[in-house]
Structure 1
Amino acid sequence: MIYFYERLGGLVSEEMRPDIAAAWDRVGDKMGKKRDIKKLPEYLNAGETVLVMAGGRTGNNNGLLVATSRRALFVSEGLVNHSHEDFPYDRISSVTTTRGMLLAKIVIHTGGASRIIENIGKSEAEAVSAIIRERVEAVTRERSQPQQSAPSPTATPTGIAAELRELAELRDLGVLTPEEFEGQKRKLLDR
């Protein structure tokens, strides 16, 4: 996919992975985030999918809070300083969202530490928080379930069904449009 962005009166074309482009399209305040979005693929692991993202600030760093299929991360690519911070879902104990009149903040609690990401658009904060909470709950459920040595022949195929449920949740949250949902569903069912 090719997307065009206005920059200093000119157009710049950037090729993006479809998952990153879909999440980026929903970011309200893109000001100063071009470096972050360009570097994001370098921070992703093989097979990791971007679900939703939001622009925000932590400490003195402006950047992107990104919820992926495996973790949350904050990417900040400034002119001089470059940083990223990982929040694996199995390490997150809770997520708190506080909304003000115009903006919101998210607090990610990991064990004895907390990270505050503020100056996030309210709707973006809700979307990112919802995905992070859902992923944390899924990891918690997986850990609490007893491990089976071999799958039962009568068990339902959970791979595609789980992915379809995830896509439906993303559509219901407004992360995917109905058209994007249908396209992704077709890809899954055609495997």
Structure 2
Amino acid sequence: MTEDNYETNNRLEQIKTQFTAAGVSDLFGTKKEVKALPELLSADEIVLYATSGFVSKGTVLVVVTDQRLLFINKGLIYGTDFKEIPFKHINAVSYSKGLVFAKVSITNGANVTLIEQVSKDNAPTFVQKLKYAIEQQENASTHVTVENTNDNSINNLRNLKQLLDDGIITQDDFDAKKKQILGI
């Protein structure tokens, strides 16, 4: 096994661990998309939630990370359709439940992305995690001044600890981010 394959497999295992910690349960029809995640996520990016859904005539994996929202659709033979929406561009998030499935609506600017056939049990959790991630990024961006650097680090550590306590991230992810925040 080459070093690149080892790193990809190691990162995939980290991502799967993050899925488990986040309570991800519906990945129907997105096995190839999950395998593509190590190439699409940065090394320090943490998966907060993921679900499968139907967007524009195709099954996609929708992933909320601590940095952005991703839509991934890996083709049957080759090619990957990949779309990301930075949190700062998301204006609204909502869902509606049907008998079996739910629909999630994400508004960014004048565009509305409708995710259909989301498990009705997963839709509220998905929306909650997405709103939480957006709020965390907004809070982090409001504390950018030099005088608040120490306060910002403390707040980031508190937020990170809350993610750990909520089971959204693993102890290893917490330790790595803590070192990054503290610069050690």
- For 2:158 and 2:14, the matched residues in 1 are separated by 16
- Normalised TM-score (structure 2): 0.73
1:171–1:19 CA distance, 2 compared to 1 (3 A): farther
1:146–1:62 CA distance, 2 compared to 1 (3 A): closer
**Higher strand content, 1 or 2:** 1
- Further displaced range: 62-71 or 118-127: 118-127
- For 1:97 and 1:38, the matched residues in 2 are separated by 27
1:147–1:27 CA distance, 2 compared to 1 (3 A): closer
Question: Which one of the candidate residues 32, 37, 44 is aligned to 2:34?
Answer: 37
Q: How far is 1:184 from its partner? A: 5.0
1:129–1:186 CA distance, 2 compared to 1 (3 A): same
1:141–1:185 CA distance, 2 compared to 1 (3 A): closer
- For 1:118 and 1:70, the matched residues in 2 are separated by 23
| Residue 168 (str. 1) matches residue 162 (str. 2) | yes
Letter in 1 for 2:17: A
**Higher helix content, 1 or 2:** 2
CA root-mean-square deviation: 3.0
Could you list the per-position Cα deviations for residues 11-63 of structure 1 after superposition, in whole angstroms to 9, with x for gaps in the alignment?
xxx65445511343333333321100001121223432222111111011112
SS at match of 2:76: coil
Q: How far is 1:186 from its partner? A: 5.8
1:101–1:32 CA distance, 2 compared to 1 (3 A): same
Q: How far is 1:167 from its partner? A: 4.3
| Equivalent position of 1:27 in the other structure | 24
In the comparison of the two structures, how many residue pairs are matched?
Answer: 169
Question: Which one of the candidate residues 147, 152, 158 is aligned to 1:151?
Answer: 147
1:169–1:47 CA distance, 2 compared to 1 (3 A): closer
Q: How far is 1:120 from its partner? A: 1.4
Aligned ranges 1:2-151 → 2 under 5 Å: 15-17=10-12, 19-25=14-20, 26-80=23-77, 82-141=80-139, 145=142, 148=145, 150-151=146-147
- Normalised TM-score (structure 1): 0.71
SS at match of 1:151: helix
1:163–1:129 CA distance, 2 compared to 1 (3 A): farther
Whichever of the two has the greater Rg, that structure is 1
Letter in 2 for 1:151: E
Please say if residues 140 and 156 of structure 2, whose CA atoms lie closer than 8 Å, have aligned partners that are also in contact. Answer: no
Q: How far is 1:161 from its partner? A: 3.9
SS at match of 2:91: strand
Displacement over 6 Å in runs of 4+? none
Letter in 2 for 1:60: K
- For 1:15 and 1:127, the matched residues in 2 are separated by 27
Please say if residues 19 and 50 of structure 1, whose CA atoms lie closer than 8 Å, have aligned partners that are also in contact. Answer: no
Please say if residues 92 and 106 of structure 2, whose CA atoms lie closer than 8 Å, have aligned partners that are also in contact. Answer: yes
1:129–1:41 CA distance, 2 compared to 1 (3 A): same
Please say if residues 164 and 185 of structure 1, whose CA atoms lie closer than 8 Å, have aligned partners that are also in contact. Answer: no
